């Protein structure tokens, strides 16, 4: 440990908290007042000047006569203390002052000393922290009495701190951690700011400050090293196989410690199990970095991005096959319709005779996936490729579909098929009106009404999706689909 000596014997002094407050003011055109308040001696020096031809007085801490403490300088140079009454001179107080007075060029000046704290409750006590003090004043003839309105007034005096001396800051002392230095006659081993208080010639405090700081140890952190679990590395002559931080101590040019730090990180070997992959018979799936055609457990041995071992375990399993019989044929002979009953599946309808996918709305050779309804315009065999998430897709058997041409057999046509909000009805002939009923596929009555003209519109916006029957009063029945 090093001890640093700082010679400050010339700075040693008595630690005090003295403050000097001073203020000056003019009272009227011929009176002046100076006040000095010393908290070290807890005393007040008052200097009052006025015309030597008569008396003059100053009251402290009041704005009116009643009960105010005054210092009265008589025309003969004597000084008295009084407590004023309401519009009268009040009473003389026991003396708590010492004074002297001099006269020069028609002006008398009284020099008064007294304690800051009043000798009684009738004697004024000056504020310990200075500040503004309210004043009243008056002057008159050779005897204390009526002075006239032009010879009195109000005022104030502001006692300002004269000891606002800036702190003297000495040069900062630096020590190494664990060392010490002598500050103001004391040994200091901790960083901080230390002070000593002296007293100036006028009794004000003078503060010295001395800061002590550490010269920090230099810590040089080397780039961290990474090793794989089970490996080791040599650091500062020592073999290390686990995560840690090692240090080596040197010395700086200033004599303080210099530390070199080296961190070692251990990267773990990865061992993980992932979700199984699904496989359809005859297909292959890319799983754990290879195409797989067989089911069973799969183990993949690799290397992580950090160069350590990585083992991933998985499994390939056969997926279930969709139900190819999930197609329903409407049981009504003149309302042939295919419906995919598995709502979780997608149906790709196609014509078995041509091999072309068909649109379930218009019958054109276009792809329209996801529609579980099939109503083609041509008689023939139709099937569907059925796709369902989590299942192997498959193709249903071809089923015969009979389509009759309604407008030629019944004299009535419906457009569009399927319809979404409105069904347009065209009648070849209509004399008068024609009653009708709407039934669902199970035969339940949905609505009834009357056609008024050969071109009519049926509102089906409120119907559920599915197939419906339009039955006329004369027995003709047609099917239509609501999307």
Q: How confident is the model at residue 155 (pLDDT cuts 50, 70, 90)?
A: very high
Do residues 262 and 276 share a domain? Answer: no
Residue 7 covered by a domain:
no
**Which residue shows structure tokens 């190819």?**
324
Q: Is residue 243 part of a domain?
A: yes
Q: Does a structural domain hold residue 24?
A: yes
Residues 58 and 114 in one domain: yes
The candidate with the shortest Cα–Cα distance to 161, out of 43, 61, 36, 40, is: 36
Q: Which of 124-133, 198-207, 320-329, 470-479 has the lowest mean pLDDT?
A: 198-207
pLDDT at 199: 77
Task: Over range 335-354, report the average pLDDT.
Answer: 79
- In this prediction, residue 99 carries a pLDDT of 96
pLDDT at 12: 35
CA dist 378 and 50 (Å) reads 132
Does residue 445 sit within a domain? Answer: yes
Show the 3-state SS of 121-134: CCCCCCCCCCEEEE
Radius of gyration of the chain measured on its C-alpha atoms: 57
Residue-wise DSSP of 134-164 = EEEEEE-SSSSS---GGGEEEEEEEEEES--
Task: Please compute the mean of the pLDDT values over residues 8-25 and round it to a whole number.
Answer: 62
Confidence class for position 223, pLDDT limits 50, 70, 90: confident
Per-residue pLDDT tens for 159-213? 999 887 778 888 888 888 778 888 888 998 888 999 888 877 777 777 889 998 8
Binning pLDDT at 50, 70 and 90, where does residue 412 land? confident
Among the listed residues 34, 82, 75, 81, the one whose alpha carbon sits nearest the alpha carbon of residue 56: 75
Cβ atoms of 409 and 428 closer than 8 Å: no
- The answer to whether the CB of 124 falls within 8 A of the CB of 133 is no
**Do both 233 and 302 map to the same domain?**
no
In a domain, 76, yes or no: yes
Asked whether residue 171 is assigned to any structural domain, the reply reads no
Tell me, what CATH number does 459's domain have? 2.60.40.3080
- Does one domain contain both 290 and 371? no
**How distant is the alpha carbon of residue 264 from its chain centre?**
36
What would the pLDDT profile of 472-482 be if each residue is shown by its tens digit? 887 777 878 88
DSSP label at residue 95: P
133 and 26 in one domain? yes
Are the CB atoms for 20 and 163 separated by under 8 Å?
Answer: yes
- CATH code where residue 53 lies: 2.60.40.1210
Strand partners for 330: none
Mean pLDDT in residue range 126-150 = 89
Say if residue 15's pLDDT is above 60: no
Asked whether residue 62 falls in the same domain as residue 121, the answer is yes
Asked if the structure places residue 212 within a domain, the reply is no
In this structure, the answer to whether residues 376 and 260 fall within a common structural domain is no
How buried is residue 110: exposed, middle or buried, by Cβ count under 10 Å (0-12/13-18/19+)? buried
pLDDT (0 to 100) of residue 336: 60
Question: Among the three residues 401, 434, 463, which one is the final residue of a domain in this structure?
Answer: 401
Parent domain of 441: 407-482
Do 260 and 278 belong to one domain? no
Are 287 and 376 within one domain? no
Give the mean pLDDT of the chain: 83
Q: Are 232 and 243 in contact (CB under 8 A)?
A: no
Q: In this structure, are 64 and 131 located in the same domain?
A: yes
In a domain, 432, yes or no: yes
Determine the pLDDT at residue 13: 37
What digits encode the pLDDT tens for the residues 256-308?
A: 767 788 888 888 777 889 999 988 888 898 998 899 989 899 998 888 777 78
Q: For the chain, how many structural domains are there in total?
A: 5
393 token code pair? 């897709």
Judgement on whether residues 235 and 348 belong to the same structural domain of the protein: no
Tokens of 147: 């002075």
Residues 304 and 386 in one domain: no
């Amino acid at each position: 440990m090093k001890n640093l000596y700082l010679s400050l014997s010339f700075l040693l002094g008595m630690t005090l908290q003295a403050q000097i407050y001073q203020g000056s003011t003019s009272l009227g055109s011929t009176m002046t007042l100076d006040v000095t308040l010393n908290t070290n001696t807890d005393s007040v020096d008052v200097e009052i000047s006025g015309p030597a031809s008569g008396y003059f007085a100053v009251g402290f801490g009041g704005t009116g006569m009643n009960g105010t403490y005054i210092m009265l300088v008589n025309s003969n140079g004597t000084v008295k203390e009084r407590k004023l009454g309401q519009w009268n001179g009040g009473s003389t107080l026991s003396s708590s002052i010492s004074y002297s007075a001099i006269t020069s060029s028609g002006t008398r000046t009284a020099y008064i000393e007294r304690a800051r704290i009043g000798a009684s409750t009738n004697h004024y006590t000056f504020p310990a922290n200075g500040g503004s003090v309210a004043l009243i004043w008056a002057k008159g003839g050779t005897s204390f009495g009526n002075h006239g309105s032009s010879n009195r007034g109000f005022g104030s005096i502001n006692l300002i701190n004269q000891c606002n001396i800036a702190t003297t800051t000495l040069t900062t002392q630096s020590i190494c951690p664990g060392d010490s230095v002598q500050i103001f006659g004391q040994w200091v081993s901790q960083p901080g700011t230390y002070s000593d208080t002296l007293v100036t010639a006028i009794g004000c405090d003078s503060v010295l400050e001395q800061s002590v700081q550490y010269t920090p140890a230099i810590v040089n952190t080397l780039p961290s090293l990474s090793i794989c679990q089970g490996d080791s590395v040599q650091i500062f002559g020592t073999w290390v196989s686990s995560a840690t931080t090692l240090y080596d101590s040197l010395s700086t040019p200033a004599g303080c410690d210099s530390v070199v730090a080296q961190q070692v990180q251990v990267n773990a070997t990865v061992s993980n199990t992932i979700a199984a992959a699904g496989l359809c018979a005859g297909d292959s799936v890319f799983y754990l970095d290879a195409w797989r055609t067989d089911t069973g457990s799969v183990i993949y041995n690799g290397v992580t991005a950090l160069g350590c071992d990585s083992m991933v375990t998985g499994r390939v399993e056969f997926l279930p096959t969709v139900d190819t019989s999930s197609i329903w044929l409407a049981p009504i002979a003149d309302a042939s319709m295919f419906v995919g009953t598995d709502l979780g599946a997608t149906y790709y309808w196609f014509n078995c005779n041509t091999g072309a996918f068909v649109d379930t709305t218009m019958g054109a050779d276009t792809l329209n996936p996801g529609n579980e309804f099939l109503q083609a315009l041509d008689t023939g065999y139709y099937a569907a490729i059925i796709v369902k998430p989590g299942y192997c897709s498959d193709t249903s058997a071809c089923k015969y579909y009979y389509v009759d041409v309604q407008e030629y057999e019944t004299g009535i046509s419906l457009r569009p098929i399927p319809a979404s909000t409105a069904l347009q009805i065209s009648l070849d002939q209509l004399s008068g009106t024609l009653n009708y009923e709407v039934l669902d596929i199970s035969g339940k009555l949905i609505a009834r009404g009357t056609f008024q003209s050969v071109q009519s519109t049926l509102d089906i916006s409120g119907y559920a999706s599915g197939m419906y029957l339009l039955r006329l009063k004369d027995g003709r029945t047609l099917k239509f689909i609501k999307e």
